[in-house]
Protein backbone atom coordinates (compact mmCIF):
# COMPACT_ATOMS: atom_id res chain seq x y z
CA UNK A 1 0.00 0.00 0.00
CA UNK A 2 1.31 3.44 -0.91
CA UNK A 3 0.10 6.98 -0.38
CA UNK A 4 1.13 9.51 -2.99
CA UNK A 5 0.77 13.15 -2.01
CA UNK A 6 0.91 15.95 -4.54
CA UNK A 7 -0.08 19.56 -5.11
CA UNK A 8 2.31 21.46 -2.89
CA UNK A 9 4.27 24.46 -4.04
CA UNK A 10 5.07 28.12 -3.54
CA UNK A 11 2.21 30.59 -3.26
CA UNK A 12 1.81 34.15 -2.08
CA UNK A 13 -0.13 34.98 1.07
CA UNK A 14 -3.83 34.95 0.36
CA UNK A 15 -3.45 32.40 -2.38
CA UNK A 16 -4.76 28.86 -2.71
CA UNK A 17 -3.44 25.35 -3.22
CA UNK A 18 -5.10 21.99 -3.56
CA UNK A 19 -3.35 18.92 -2.21
CA UNK A 20 -4.17 15.39 -3.32
CA UNK A 21 -3.44 12.07 -1.63
CA UNK A 22 -3.96 8.90 -3.62
CA UNK A 23 -3.82 5.49 -1.95
CA UNK A 24 -2.90 2.49 -4.07
CA UNK A 25 -2.18 -1.18 -3.62
CA UNK A 26 -4.15 -4.10 -2.26
CA UNK A 27 -6.71 -2.08 -0.38
CA UNK A 28 -9.85 -3.62 1.08
CA UNK A 29 -11.12 -0.44 2.68
CA UNK A 30 -10.02 2.93 4.05
CA UNK A 31 -11.62 4.28 7.19
CA UNK A 32 -10.06 7.68 7.87
CA UNK A 33 -7.94 9.85 5.62
CA UNK A 34 -6.26 12.97 6.83
CA UNK A 35 -3.67 15.66 6.45
CA UNK A 36 -0.99 16.62 8.93
CA UNK A 37 1.74 19.18 8.68
CA UNK A 38 5.17 19.75 10.15
CA UNK A 39 6.86 23.11 10.09
CA UNK A 40 10.62 23.36 10.51
CA UNK A 41 11.56 22.89 14.13
CA UNK A 42 8.04 21.98 15.20
CA UNK A 43 6.13 18.81 15.86
CA UNK A 44 3.78 17.30 13.34
CA UNK A 45 0.22 18.49 13.87
CA UNK A 46 -3.22 17.55 12.64
CA UNK A 47 -4.76 19.68 9.91
CA UNK A 48 -7.93 17.81 8.98
CA UNK A 49 -9.42 14.34 8.76
CA UNK A 50 -12.36 12.79 6.96
CA UNK A 51 -14.07 9.45 7.51
CA UNK A 52 -15.36 7.15 4.79
CA UNK A 53 -18.83 8.44 5.63
CA UNK A 54 -17.73 12.03 5.04
CA UNK A 55 -17.48 13.28 8.61
CA UNK A 56 -14.77 15.89 8.92
CA UNK A 57 -12.60 17.26 11.69
CA UNK A 58 -10.39 20.35 11.48
CA UNK A 59 -7.68 21.91 13.58
CA UNK A 60 -8.65 25.22 15.13
CA UNK A 61 -6.07 27.12 13.10
CA UNK A 62 -7.84 26.17 9.86
CA UNK A 63 -10.66 28.58 10.79
CA UNK A 64 -12.76 27.83 7.72
CA UNK A 65 -9.91 28.35 5.26
CA UNK A 66 -9.30 24.69 4.38
CA UNK A 67 -11.70 22.01 3.16
CA UNK A 68 -10.99 18.30 3.17
CA UNK A 69 -12.84 15.96 0.85
CA UNK A 70 -12.42 12.47 -0.56
CA UNK A 71 -13.40 10.32 -3.50
CA UNK A 72 -13.91 6.84 -2.11
CA UNK A 73 -14.05 5.28 -5.57
CA UNK A 74 -10.56 6.64 -6.28
CA UNK A 75 -9.15 6.13 -2.76
CA UNK A 76 -8.15 9.77 -2.88
CA UNK A 77 -8.38 12.62 -0.41
CA UNK A 78 -8.05 16.31 -1.16
CA UNK A 79 -7.23 19.38 0.87
CA UNK A 80 -8.35 22.67 -0.61
CA UNK A 81 -6.42 25.45 1.10
CA UNK A 82 -7.57 29.05 0.68
CA UNK A 83 -6.43 32.32 2.24
CA UNK A 84 -3.02 30.85 2.90
CA UNK A 85 -0.75 32.55 5.40
CA UNK A 86 3.03 32.41 5.86
CA UNK A 87 2.34 30.46 9.05
CA UNK A 88 0.91 27.65 6.91
CA UNK A 89 4.36 26.96 5.51
CA UNK A 90 5.20 23.34 6.27
CA UNK A 91 5.58 19.89 4.84
CA UNK A 92 2.10 18.43 4.52
CA UNK A 93 1.69 14.70 5.02
CA UNK A 94 -1.29 12.58 4.13
CA UNK A 95 -2.37 9.75 6.36
CA UNK A 96 -4.81 6.91 5.88
CA UNK A 97 -6.08 4.12 8.08
CA UNK A 98 -6.29 1.15 5.74
CA UNK A 99 -7.39 -2.45 5.83
CA UNK A 100 -5.48 -4.42 3.25
CA UNK A 101 -6.90 -7.30 1.26
CA UNK A 102 -6.79 -10.49 3.28
CA UNK A 103 -6.33 -8.72 6.61
CA UNK A 104 -8.80 -8.02 9.38
CA UNK A 105 -7.07 -5.10 11.06
CA UNK A 106 -6.58 -1.49 10.02
CA UNK A 107 -3.15 0.10 10.01
CA UNK A 108 -1.74 3.60 9.65
CA UNK A 109 -0.03 4.61 6.42
CA UNK A 110 1.77 7.85 5.60
CA UNK A 111 2.59 9.60 2.36
CA UNK A 112 5.97 11.09 1.59
CA UNK A 113 4.99 14.70 2.29
CA UNK A 114 4.63 17.69 0.01
CA UNK A 115 6.14 21.10 0.71
CA UNK A 116 3.85 24.10 0.97
CA UNK A 117 5.57 27.48 1.13
CA UNK A 118 3.59 30.68 1.57
CA UNK A 119 5.44 33.92 0.96
CA UNK A 120 4.47 37.22 2.52
How far apart (Å, rounded) are the C-alpha atoms in residues 33 and 16?
Answer: 21
Q: State which H helix or E strand residue 44 sits in.
A: none
At 54-111, the pLDDT tens digits run 999 999 999 899 999 999 999 999 999 999 999 999 999 999 999 999 999 999 999 9
Question: How much is the average pLDDT of 6-34?
Answer: 97
Task: Name which of 3, 36, 20 is nearest 107 in CA terms.
Answer: 3
pLDDT(18) > 90: yes
Residue 15 C-alpha from the chain's centroid: 18
Amino acid sequence: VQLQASGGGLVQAGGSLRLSCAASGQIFSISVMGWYRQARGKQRELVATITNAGSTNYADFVMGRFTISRDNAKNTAYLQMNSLKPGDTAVYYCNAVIRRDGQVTYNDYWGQGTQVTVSS
